[in-house]
Amino acid sequence: MEKALSGIRILDMTHVQAGPTSSQLLAWLGADVIKFEPPTGDITRGQLRDIPNADSLYFTMLNCNKRSITANMKNPAGKEVFVELLKKCDVVMENFGPGVLDRFGFTWDKVHEINPKIVMASIKGFGSSGPYAEFKAYENVAQAMGGSMSTTGFDDGPPLVTGAQIGDSGTGLHLAIGILAALQARVRTGKGQYVEVAMMDSVMNLCRVKFRDHQRLTRGNLPEYSIDTTGRHATPRSGNDSGGGQLGNAVKCKPGGPNDYIYVVVQEAVWENLARLMGGDALVQDARFSTIGERRKNQAVMWGMLNDYASNYDKREFMAILNGIDVPCGPIMSTEDLANDDHVHLRDMYVELDHPQRGTWYNVGMPIKLSDNHVPMERSPLLGEHTDQILQEVLGWDKSQIEAKRTAGAFTK
Ligand SMILES: CC(C)(COP(=O)(O)OP(=O)(O)OC[C@H]1O[C@@H](n2cnc3c(N)ncnc32)[C@H](O)[C@@H]1OP(=O)(O)O)[C@@H](O)C(=O)NCCC(=O)NCCS
């Protein structure tokens, strides 16, 4: 079956979330991903467990379509296994804390010397240079330091983290793009290169438009914000304001539960239809809303009217009404809504899988659809499930060579 990355083998030392989401995407694009784990396994195998002694959903959801080998990098025989695999792989990926790989003796220079064609890809909280380089990072640390938390929430409330894992999974996406570019460059140059992505940098990249507003603040009030931004020096939290050229906000529907809202964008082109729907010709003619500039000025009144109108409908009913007049909108979908949504299932975005330790479970699907990349989703590997297979198939070792390494402690603590 056709796979976009057929022939690319990845030595995947990544752990927790940021790295594994990246290598999982590359596996779904067809790469052979070898998860290289310490004998105790990726720490997430045991974190937030819902079934005793079974690999957690935290692990299973981020490590599909990979094979697992264990090797102890603190043992000379384990290091030899690593070096032999390095020679046979196209990419090596890691997201250890600062200095871990150097302490193992594998700087980029060393890795490049062992295999000049290999691409080495690293995630660090803050990169390898600058005053923050020595610090570890987790998702919310990156959200805090990359500009996301200070711009999320309401102006009169505390900074908030966003549910989307932009610090971890967002950084993983950036890393995957860097790896693909480095592999493409290698086609021309024959040489591998070092790809580094910092979580803080990735979050800043995803907050790019907040820096647009940061600079616009110097020219006065930002009229699209529902709060007065005059005199501010940093982009404020703007609740559910659209953040774009069109007005938008979350509108409450019946019966008034925590997710009974619909996000509505009052696009310039649809105002007349929307006004006619809510208030007939009188509202269409109302000078307070006749231009987008007027609607910005009077948006509190406009959103009040929309909320009153929406209170007659549930979010799906209101979605149907708004879609009928071409108003861009989206009901606020809970995880329960999404897990049961026909559209989501038809697009293979919530996929049923089996697992020897946990039975049936679900993973979020592969969001990048290629016409010639047929990779069925496969469950995550058990710890060390493919150690012997990988040594035989990738390194060509026979049983006695594997046993010798086993006896020397290569695969155990
Ligand atoms: C996520 C993070 C904070 C976790 O910190 P941590 O649990 O202390 O883990 P570290 O990566 O610093 O260290 C891993 C340890 O496992 C050991 N280890 C890893 N693979 C091993 C192997 N195959 N064999 C033996 N030991 C191994 C390392 O030697 C290290 O131990 P040491 O400190 O004694 O040298 C840290 O890895 C980090 O900052 N990573 C970069 C940013 C990142 O990706 N964060 C997002 C995670 S979702």
- Domain CATH for 282: 3.30.1540.10
User: Are 164 and 196 in the same domain?
Assistant: yes
**For ligand 1, atom 6, which residue shows the shortest CA distance?**
97
- Asked if the structure places residue 145 within a domain, the reply is yes
Across the range 264-275, mean pLDDT stands at 97
Of 301, 331, 361, the residue that ends a domain is: 331
User: Are 322 and 191 in the same domain?
Assistant: no
Q: How far apart are CA 18 and CA 136, in angstroms?
A: 13
Q: How far apart are CA 51 and CA 42, in angstroms?
A: 17
pLDDT averaged over the chain? Answer: 97
Token pair for 86: 């390095």
Q: What is the tally of structural domains in the chain?
A: 2
Question: What is the span of the domain harbouring residue 105?
Answer: 9-206+347-407
- Asked if the structure places residue 266 within a domain, the reply is yes
Q: Which amino acid is at 150?
A: S
User: Are 248 and 310 in the same domain?
Assistant: yes
- Domain CATH for 365: 3.40.50.10540
- Asked if the structure places residue 227 within a domain, the reply is no
Of 331, 355, 384, the residue that ends a domain is: 331
pLDDT score of 2: 86
User: Are 72 and 195 in the same domain?
Assistant: yes
User: Are 314 and 357 in the same domain?
Assistant: no
Residue 315: pLDDT above 90? yes
- The span from the first CA to the last CA of the chain, in angstroms, equals 38
- Asked if the structure places residue 170 within a domain, the reply is yes
Residue 104: pLDDT above 80? yes
Percentage, residues of the chain above pLDDT 70: 100
Question: Residue 83 carries which DSSP code?
Answer: H
**For ligand 1, atom 30, which residue shows the shortest CA distance?**
100
Question: Residue 101 carries which DSSP code?
Answer: H
- Do residues 398 and 404 lie in contact, with contact meaning Cβ atoms separated by under 8 Å? no
User: Are 60 and 201 in the same domain?
Assistant: yes
Most ligand 1 atoms within 8 A of CB, residue of 37, 59, 100 to mutate: 100
User: Are 164 and 21 in the same domain?
Assistant: yes
- Asked if the structure places residue 119 within a domain, the reply is yes
Of 272, 299, 331, the residue that ends a domain is: 331
Q: Provide residues with CB under 6 Å of ligand 1.
A: 16-19, 38, 71-74, 95-97, 100, 103, 123-125, 136-138, 168, 199
User: Are 54 and 144 in the same domain?
Assistant: yes
pLDDT score of 120: 98
37 alpha carbon to ligand 1 midpoint, in Å? 11
Q: How far apart are CA 160 and CA 151, in angstroms?
A: 8
User: Are 265 and 144 in the same domain?
Assistant: no
User: Are 171 and 284 in the same domain?
Assistant: no
- Asked if the structure places residue 219 within a domain, the reply is no
- Asked if the structure places residue 67 within a domain, the reply is yes
Q: How far apart are CA 297 and CA 344, in angstroms?
A: 38
- Do residues 266 and 274 lie in contact, with contact meaning Cβ atoms separated by under 8 Å? yes
- Asked if the structure places residue 53 within a domain, the reply is yes
What's the pLDDT tens digit per position in 338-347?
999 999 999 9
**Other residues' Cβ atoms within 10 Å of the Cβ of residue 166:** 22
404 alpha carbon to ligand 1 midpoint, in Å? 28
The pairing of strands 91-94 and 119-124 is parallel
258 alpha carbon to ligand 1 midpoint, in Å? 38
User: Are 319 and 356 in the same domain?
Assistant: no
What's the pLDDT tens digit per position in 9-67?
999 999 999 999 999 999 999 999 999 999 999 999 999 999 999 999 999 999 999 99
Most ligand 1 atoms within 8 A of CB, residue of 43, 75, 96 to mutate: 96
Q: How far apart are CA 125 and CA 146, in angstroms?
A: 10
Q: How far apart are CA 95 and CA 101, in angstroms?
A: 9
User: Are 179 and 37 in the same domain?
Assistant: yes
384 alpha carbon to ligand 1 midpoint, in Å? 18
What's the pLDDT tens digit per position in 142-184?
999 999 999 999 999 999 999 999 999 999 999 999 999 999 9
